[in-house]
A and B are shown apart, each in its own frame.
Chain A
Amino acid sequence: MKMNFLKTATGLLGGATLMLSSSLIMAAPPVQEIIEKANQASYYAGQDGRAEARMKIEDKNGRTQTRQFTVLRKDVEGSDQQNYLVVFSRPSEYRDTVFLVHKKPQAGDDRWLYLPDLDLVRRIAPGDKRTSFVGAHVYYEDISGRNLNQDEHQLVEETDDQYVLKSTPKNPGEVEFASFQTWIDKETWLPMRIEYTDDEGEVYRIMENAGVEVVDGYPTPMMMRVQDLESGGQTIVQFRGASYDLGIPDSVFTERSLRNPPSDWLERR
Chain B
Amino acid sequence: MAKKQAFVYLGSLGLALSLASLPAWSADDWAEEGDWGSDWEEPEEPLLPFRVGGFIEAAGGAHIYSNPVVENRMDKEYNLGEARLRLEIDGDWKEIGYSLKADGLADAVDEELRGELREALISTSTGPVDWRAGRQVLTWGTGDLLFINDLFPKDWQSFLIGRDEDYLKGPSDAIRGTWYAGEVTVDAVWSPLFQEDNYPDGDRLSYYNPMAGGQTAQPISDQASEPDDFPEDGEAALRLATRQAGIEYAAYGYWGFWPEPNDSSKVAGGGKLEHPELYVYGASLRTSLGSGLFNAEAGYYDSRDYDSQQANMTPNSEARFLMGYDWELVTNLNVGLQYYLEWTQDHDDLTTDMAGEEYRQLLTTRLTYRQWRGDLVWSLFAFVSPSDEDYYLRPSATYRVSDALTLSAGGNIFGGENNYSFFGQFEKDSNLYARARYRF
Task: Confirm or deny: A132 has a beta carbon within 8 angstroms of a beta carbon on chain B.
Answer: yes
**B40 CB–A CB distance under 8 Å:** yes
- Binary contact track B337-381/A, C-beta < 8 Å → 1, others 0: 000000000000000000000000000000000101111000000
Q: In the assembled complex, which residues on chain A have CB atoms less than 8 Å from the CB atom of B19? A: 159, 164, 183
Asked whether B269 is an interface residue with its Cβ less than 8 Å from the other chain, the reply is no
Do B40 and A127 touch (CB < 8 A)? no
A240 touches B328 (CB 8 A): no
Contact partner of A56 among B36, B328, B375, B400, CB < 8 A?
B36
- Size band of the B side of the interface? 35 or more
A125: chain B residues within 8 A (beta carbon): 288, 291-293, 326-328, 334
Instruction: Give residues of chain A (60-105) contacting chain B, Cβ–Cβ below 8 Å.
Output: 63, 65-66, 68, 89-93, 95
Q: Which residues of B contact A193 (CB under 8 A)?
A: 22, 26
Asked if A256 lies at the interface with its beta carbon under 8 angstroms from chain B, I say yes
B53 & A92 in contact (Cβ 8 Å cutoff): yes
Option from A65, A119, A131, A254 in Cβ contact (under 8 Å) with B137: A119
Scan B130-153; emit 1 where CB is below 8 A from any A CB, else 0.
100000111100000000000000
Contact with A along B390-408 (1 / 0, CB 8 A): 0000000000101110100
Report A209-240 residues with CB < 8 Å from chain B CB: 210-211, 223, 225, 231, 233, 236, 238, 240
- Minimum CB–CB distance from A73 to chain B (whole Å) comes to 20
User: From B439, which residue of chain A is reached at the shortest CB distance?
Assistant: A92
Minimum CB–CB distance from A115 to chain B (whole Å) comes to: 9
Given A128-B334, A210-B27, decide whether A91 and B439 contact each other with a Cβ distance below 8 A: yes
The listed residue (A57, A90, A238) touching B41 by CB distance below 8 A is A90
Q: Which of A68, A91, A119, A126 contacts B136 (CB 8 A)?
A: A119
Q: How far is it, in angstroms, between the C-alpha of A159 and the C-alpha of B20 when the chains are bound?
A: 9
Interface size on A, residues (CB 8 A): 58
A89 to B284, CA, bound (A): 32
Partner of B178, one of A107, A108, A211, A259: A259
Query: Which of A54, A118, A176, A223 is the one whose CB lies under 8 Å from B40?
Result: A54
Given contacts A117-B137, A125-B326, A132-B374, contact A91 B291 (CB under 8 A): no
CB of B209 closer than 8 Å to a CB of A: no
C-alpha spacing A149/B83, complex, angstroms: 54
| Nearest CB of B to A228, in Å | 8
User: Nearest 4 A-B pairs (CB), nearest first?
Assistant: A127-B291, A210-B31, A132-B373, A91-B403
List residues of chain B with CB under 8 Å of any chain A CB: 19-20, 22-23, 26-27, 30-31, 33, 36, 39-41, 43-44, 51, 53-55, 123, 125, 130, 136-139, 166, 169, 178, 180, 185, 241, 246, 248, 286, 288, 290-293, 326-328, 331-332, 334, 370, 372-375, 400, 402-404, 406, 439-440
